[in-house]
Each structure stands twice: as C-alpha cells, then as structure tokens.
Amino acid sequence: MGEPLPTKKRLRARRIAGALWLALLLASCTRPQNNGLGPLGDDETALPGIRYEVVLQGPLDNELREALEAASSTIQRLDQPPPDELALRQRAERDLPALDAALRGLGYYKGSIRVRLETIERAPAGIGADLEDILTLPGSTLRVVFEVEPGPRYRLRERRIEIIGAPYGFAPPRPAQLGLQGDAPAIAATVLEAETRLIRLAQERGHAFARAGPRAVIVDHDREIMDVTLRIEPGPLVRYGAIRFEGASGISERYLRRLVPAREGSRFDLRELERGRDALVRSGLFSVVRLRLPAAPEPDDRVSPVFELVQRKHRSIGGGVGYASDEGANLRAYWEHRNLFSAGERLRSELLLSPIRQNAQANFRKPEVGARGQALLASALAQNESLEAFDSRSLKLASGIERTLAQGLEGTLGLSWRFADIEDRKGRRRFALFSVPARLAWDGSDSLFDPSRGARLTFELAPNFDTLGSGARFLKSRVVASGYYPIWNRPRLVLAGRAATGTIVGAERTAIPADERWYAGGGGSVRGVPYQKAGPLDRRGDPEGGRSFIELSGEFRLGLSETLGLVVFVDGGSAFDAPLPGQGGLRWGTGLGLRYATPVGPLRLDVAVPIDRKPAVDELFQLYISLGQAF
C-alpha cells in the first residue's frame, strides 16, 4: 500500500530537505541591486538633489484631488528630486497650465491656481498628520504649496446630436442615452465618451464606416453652463463579405469560423467581430490577433474583415517545484499540445511527485463541439497517496461537456468512475464510485493568476454511488467565493478575501471513503495548521476527515515594487463530523508572505503560525512555497 504512514523522523528529514531547497531557491533568485547608486559596477554616485513635499490646498473633493495629482509633474516626480530650489520652482510653475486644464476638464472654468515654496520647520510626525493632503519624501526640507480655488462648477444645458449628410437609415439616440444628462457637471471626458459611444452605436447597427463630425462646445461664463452638439456621419449600411484569416496555416479554417459569430451576408456588427477576436485569443493558439477592416466599403456595400494571426508554438513542456513544511517538497512537470487534430484540441499530461502524493494525469479538451462555446472534456488520473489519515491508490476516468453560459460564466456536466483501494486505521476497503459531477463557475476578476479587483464564485455538486456492493451513496457539494478590492493604487494595496464551505449528505462518515471526506488545514486551506489537522482527530492525533467544512481567508497584498510584494494574512477553518458545520469551532492561523512576480504568476513564500497552538498537534510555524496567489 505505498509508503508507510509518516513518522516524526521522516517529518524532520522533510523539514531539513525543505530548508536546503529554500536556500537554493533564494540564492538562484538573488539579483544584483542598483540601490540608486548609478550603473552597476560604477563607483560614481549622482547628487541626491533636494527633497520636498507637496500640498494641494483648497476645497477639493476626491475627484478633483485625484485629477490634479495625476496632472502634476511635481507630484508624479517626487522620487526624482531636482538639484536645487530654482529647479524645483521651475518644475512647479510648469505644472500650472496642466493643473488649469485639469480644472477645466472637470467643469471648473473660473478656477485659479497659484504656487509658492515654503521652508519646512520639521517636527516629529504626530498621530493627527493628514496623509491625504501631504505627499512627502523622508528628509524633505521644502514644501510646494498649490493654492487651488476651484470656483463654481459649470453644468450641461443644451445637448444635441446632428447627422451630417445622408442618414442611411441611422436614427441617433437621445443625448441622455449616451451619458449626457441635463444639468450634470460639464466634464470634458463625459462629452468625449458620449461621442465615442455615438460612433460605436452606429458601428453596431451596420454603419461600419461611421465617423464623428466637428463637435460644437459652447461655454457661457455668465450663466456658468455648457452647450454641446455632437455630429456624426453614419456612412452606408453594409454587410459582411468574405471573412479571411491570415497566418493560420495548419489550423482548420472551419474551426476558426466557428469562433467568429459574424457570417457572410449578414449585417455588419462590430460586437460580433470583437467577440470573435476574443475567442481567437482564448483559444491559446495565437500570440497576436489583429482585426483589419478596409478603409471604404466594397462596390456592393460589403466589407470583408481580415484577422491577422501570429501562431504560438503548439507544443510546450514545463514544470515547477514547491515546498510545504507539513507536506515536503513537490515536483511538477507537464507536456501540452494545443492543436492535436488541427482544430484547437488540447491534450495536457501532468506528473506530480511528493513524499505524500504521486499522480499522473491526462486531460483532453475539444472545443466547439455541437454548439458555439461548448467543449468536450475527457480525463484520466492515476494517484497514490500516503497520508497520516489514510493510504490510497486510485484510478479515475471522467468525461463531460463544458459550456460558456454568459461572459465569465461556465457550466460543466459530466460522468466519472473512480476505483480506490484505501487503508486507514479501521482497515482496508475498496470502492468503485460512479459519479455525475456538475460545476458552475463565474469569474469576474481582472487576472487569472494575480487578481486585484473583482470576484469569483464556484458551485460544485456530485452524487456518488459505489458499484462494488458496499451500498455507499452520498451527495457531495461545495461553494467557494473570493473577492478582490483595491484600496490604494500608489503603492498598490489590495484586500483579498475567500470563503468556502462544503457538505456530504446521505451516508455516515465511516461509510464514506476516507479520500472523499472533507479535510482542512495546510497551505491551500488554513495556513499555520498542519495538513488536514483542522478537524476531527483520532486518539493518535491522525485526521479522520468530516462530512462538512468551513474555510475563511483574508489577505492584505502590498506591492513593494513591480516585482516584489508583501502579504499579511489570516486563515480560519475546520472540518466537522456532522453534515453541517457546528460544534468544535474553527482553527486559525496567521502570518506573512512574500510575492515575486514571474511571467507565469507570482512566486509565493508564506510563513504562518497557529493561533491558540496545540502543542500535541501544531508545530511552531509552517513554511509554504509555490506558484500563484493563495486564492
């Protein structure tokens, strides 16, 4: 049955090996640093310049303050101090036209800005210091003060849309539909965005060559209002001609046409071409996807779009290493083919080796099967596990259909069969589980590997039936939600949170295979608590698993530079014997982490300690190294 259950001596050996591995990793990641002392290897140092701080003084709301900060070179270049006071004064005075433009752009046409320099009488920072009003560098001796008098904010009054030349059937929308609301602030960006929406709307209605005419913006300073007239030349109503793909040799054109919803002879709609472009990008076959349209319609009022494609290599091989002090080091390797039968079919094989788990799996995905946005899935997994809770050898075969239901929303329905030979403290048993797994996943985040805003939600449900005669039948379900909220942009600070819960109903815990029960604790669950040990334990302190679980995580992610980040986190969770979480409470862990940006996601190093440590169960700390954020 694989390796024997881990002993304390084996665990100590793992930690020593992990520490050596970590030292090698850190040594390989070390880079020579410039530290602001000029080119590497050059002993000359540039003059440090004079340091200063900036104050925006006046009745400013957040919108106006952010606009002025973005327009000010004096603020944007705080980390590039000038050589002397004269250069600083010149820098600040050169800001005045840009700051005035920022005022006018937000509708403050009677505003004024003056600048002065002050010598700072430096005193120890007090608790009441206003960090929002003062932008500063350590050791600064001068203060640049911008005195801002915004004045009254002008409002939008008359708003018109006019057609130039023949309308070709185009009916312009009402100004309010474009975002030009009566008596709204006279913001320049709002007018420009409305004009962009107007042209876009025409292109969505078949006028591929619509263009903007000269807009008329009249500012009445006596009445403190702005009148706006937007003009559009719609151009003829056109239909699609032949849709062509350049640079797609070796890839089925039929498959590519299924990715693009536009059809020859139908009315032009820019949204269809954009959806096709996005689908071509998501296929993973191309490093560059460009949409090219002709400058004018063809003689029969048709337009023939061209997608210019640059192919990626269809095959790739890669791998990675990781470490957790409660699991040991792990090695991953994969091989992938993304165009197996010339129609975007993807075959990926993976191998995982660690002291507690070894597996080999293959996953196949054929896109655009039966309907647009629908894919056929198939997979095989052979796995050996040697854990404190159980030893297990298993083989799993699965297939299913995956379908895109809406933007960011995917659903999967499948069939699976898994044979498992399991040995735990209660003996050895064999199962052959037939399952009908279903999954619904929504991803509204801005990044797959390192999200900074948005949210994700996943719901999984799987009825299981044992076909070897044990009579085990149970329903397993899980819900996972995570959210990402940006607090600051400079420096970058993100609040990230995750919550997960699951349950198993229909069978007692002892009737459920040990490797199907819920467990909590470890690097992907409750950091600081040993792997699988946040939950029921037997008399020897080995995990027993449960029929339900809860996990909660919160992180503050601070960007120290473009490549380095710091994380402070708190995790909580536990598995429970009952189908619903209840008696026993949660185990908690907390700690610090470093993130190092790589092309395939952040390298993660976390050090966590248990809260309310249990000496018989918990170590003083746990160390985790892997690729990607914790969630």
Question: Contact 624/611 with Cβ under 8 angstroms?
Answer: no
Q: For the chain, what are the domain ranges? A: 52-122+131-149, 155-233, 239-311, 320-627
pLDDT band at 575; cut points 50, 70, 90: very high
CATH among 1.10.3660.10, 3.30.565.10, 1.10.10.10, 3.10.20.310 for 155-233? 3.10.20.310
- Spatial separation of the C-alpha atoms in residues 467 and 432, rounded to whole Å: 5
Q: What pLDDT shows up at residue 482?
A: 98
pLDDT at 540 over 90: no
**Is the model's pLDDT at 29 over the cut of 50?**
no
- Do domains 239-311 and 320-627 share one topology? The answer is no
Q: Could you tell me the pLDDT band of residue 19, with boundaries at 50, 70 and 90?
A: very low
Residue 351 has pLDDT above 90, yes or no: yes
If we measure between CA atoms, which residue out of 563, 554, 552, 623 comes closest to residue 593? 623
Residue 402 amino acid letter: E
The radius of gyration computed from the CA coordinates of the chain, to the nearest angstrom, equals 31
Contacts of range 34-43, beta carbons closer than 8 Å, 24 or more positions apart: none
Q: Is the pLDDT of residue 223 over 80?
A: yes
- pLDDT bracket for residue 39 (50, 70, 90): very low
Q: Is the pLDDT of residue 139 over 80?
A: no
- Does residue 402 carry a pLDDT above 70? yes
Alpha-carbon distance of 338 to 341, in angstroms, equals: 9
Question: How far, CA to CA in Å, does 134 sit from each of 15, 75, 78, 490, 567?
Answer: 48, 10, 12, 14, 26
Kindly state the average pLDDT of the residues 231-246. 96
The CATH number of the domain covering residues in 320-627 = 2.40.160.50
pTM of the predicted model, to two decimals?
0.76
Q: How far apart are CA 184 and CA 179, in angstroms?
A: 10
pLDDT band for 51, please (50, 70, 90 cuts): confident
* C-alpha 130 chain-centroid distance: 32
Look at residue 579 in the predicted model and tell me its pLDDT.
93
In three-state secondary structure terms, 238 is coil
Residue 174 — pLDDT band, cuts 50, 70, 90?
Answer: very high
Output DSSP code: residue 426. Answer: T
Tally of CB atoms within 10 A around 46: 9
Q: Band of the pLDDT at 322, cuts 50, 70, 90?
A: very high
Q: Provide the mean pLDDT of the chain.
A: 88
Element (H, E) at 88: helix 85-94
Q: Please tell me the least confidently modeled range out of 127-136, 313-322, 326-335, 456-465.
A: 127-136
Instruction: Decide if pLDDT at 370 tops 60.
Output: yes
CA dist 49 and 142 (Å) reads 12
pLDDT of residue 386: 94
Question: What percentage of the chain has pLDDT greater than the value 90?
Answer: 78
pLDDT at 123: 53
Mean pLDDT of 43-67: 80
**Average pLDDT for residues 421-449, to the nearest whole number?**
93
In the chain, the percentage of residues whose pLDDT exceeds 70 is: 89
pLDDT digits (tens, 9 = 90+) for 85-128: 999 999 999 999 999 999 999 999 999 999 999 988 655 544 44
DSSP tag of 452:
-
Contacts within 8 Å (CB) and 24+ apart, 310-319: 310/247, 310/286, 311/247, 311/248, 311/250, 311/251, 311/285, 311/286, 311/287, 312/284, 312/285, 312/286, 312/287, 312/338, 314/250, 314/285, 314/338, 314/339
DSSP 81: -
| Range 406-413 average pLDDT | 94
Q: Which CATH architecture has domain 239-311?
A: Roll (3.10)
Q: Pull the structure tokens for residue 186.
A: 């006279």
**Pairing between strand 454-466 and 427-435?**
antiparallel
CB atoms within 10 A of CB 551: 24
Q: Give the per-residue pLDDT at 28.
A: 36
- Report the CATH number of the 52-122+131-149 domain: 3.10.20.310
Mean pLDDT of 257-285: 94
pLDDT above 50 for 17? no
Task: State both tokens at 587.
Answer: 């185990």
Residue 289 pLDDT > 80: yes
Residue 551 confidence (pLDDT): 97
Task: Give the pLDDT confidence score for residue 378 in this predicted structure.
Answer: 98
| DSSP classification of residue 255 | H
Average pLDDT over residues 341-360: 96
Instruction: Give mean pLDDT, residues 399-416.
Output: 95
Q: Is the pLDDT of residue 554 over 50?
A: yes
* CA-to-CA separations, 221 to 54, 108, 183, 216, 228, in angstroms, rounded: 31, 11, 15, 16, 15
Q: What is the pLDDT of residue 129?
A: 43
Name which residue leads in pLDDT, 35 or 285: 285
pLDDT for the residue 138: 54
> Residue 473 CA to chain centroid, in angstroms?
38
pLDDT in tens, 576-603: 999 998 877 899 999 999 999 988 789 9
Kind and range of the H or E element at 85?
helix 85-94
